[in-house]
Chain A
């Protein structure tokens, strides 16, 4: 074989191996960042845990009505807050699912939508998707208090104002798993499957 060809074959092999090593290193750096970030990003990164009392926030809905999020409720019903945004495509796809769940779960659950950002955009979003059946709150503190980092994100509060379930929602199944998690008294279906029951005291 021509020495140049041999050299070339060898070089290609080494280049491929090198590329794999670079990819592995990049992933390792990503893992390291993930580990370090909570230290750097301080207290806010934690958010509420399932089983903890949610803060009581007096807010105003887009319609102008006063809405209180959190705290004990006299009627014994639970509250689902879905965090959405006009810029989030998956949210739009999920809205019909939410409307049908609102009917099927109406015996125990109230629903509201929460968002953040430009009010005109929010109004257009509500009008376009017929969201006036839900209380619609635009509030940065609300999103911060539940540490919502990705959308659409849902939390369920029970009638005592205690956080019962939370999670990122991408589909009907995800939403229903939250209802199931609330019924079973676990933090999430992952926790249930791992047998780690949340502390449901308080």
Chain B
């Protein structure tokens, strides 16, 4: 499979928009991220303070790598592995029955417990990044392509916000409402 540069560029920018804010949240409030990672109970506790700072560094490095053709495949595989690891960590805690565990995925001011849909979401995200590890065809981009990239990126970001809000906030409240009737 050969990837068209327009599709490739949309994917790269979308993953940059996903991973850069995630890395920034972790760096800005590192003690909270250390505690979040610790609360997941999936790593030896002694290693958590040393490993936690590596996570945002990997996330940022993946973004940089996606823009560099020589490292693109490696960065895409790393991103997929990272997203699957997050999914696994959440799945393990869901199986343990720890439904009150803060997912650490909303920034420091909001709390959101881990939920099954986040596991599926991360698995889907891990799958969607994989085309970037394939070679691109050499088609030169013109003005129309850049318009397509910009419009697609805007649509993806807005739909992401809508879906996140729907599944993370509106749907649980709706379920609560249903249960209380």
Task: List the interface of chain A (C-beta within 8 A of B).
Answer: 5, 8-9, 12-13, 15-16, 19-20, 22-23, 26-27, 29-30, 33-34, 36-37, 40-42, 85-93, 117, 150-151, 170
Contact = CB atoms under 8 A, between A and B. Distances in A.
Contacts of B43: none
B173 A34 contact: yes
Given A27-B165, A30-B170, A85 B100 contact: yes
Interface stretch (B59-67, B128-136, B154-162): B154-162
B99 to A, nearest CB: 10
Contacts of A5: 144
B181 interface: yes
Contacts of B102: 87-90
A32 to B, nearest CB: 9
A81 to B, nearest CB: 19
Interface in B147-181: 147-148, 151-152, 154-155, 158-159, 161-162, 165-166, 169-170, 173-174, 176-177, 180-181
Given A9-B147, A26-B170, A19 B158 contact: yes
Given A12-B147, A87-B39, A92-B35, 20 more contacts: A9-B147, A12-B152, A15-B151, A15-B155, A16-B151, A19-B155, A22-B162, A23-B158, A26-B166, A30-B165, A30-B170, A37-B176, A41-B176, A86-B39, A87-B100, A90-B35, A90-B108, A92-B31, A93-B32, A93-B35
Interface string B80-122: 0000000000000000001011101000110100000000000
Interface in B1-50: 31-36, 38-39
| 3 residue pairs, one from A and one from B, having the closest CB atoms | A89-B35, A12-B151, A40-B180
Interface of B is mostly: helix
Given A12-B147, A12-B148, A12-B151, A30 B173 contact: yes
Interface of B: 31-36, 38-39, 98, 100-102, 104, 108-109, 111, 144, 147-148, 151-152, 154-155, 158-159, 161-162, 165-166, 169-170, 173-174, 176-177, 180-181
Nearest to B144: A5
Contacts of B147: 9, 12
Contact of A89 (B36, B144, B154, B166): B36
A40 B39 contact: no
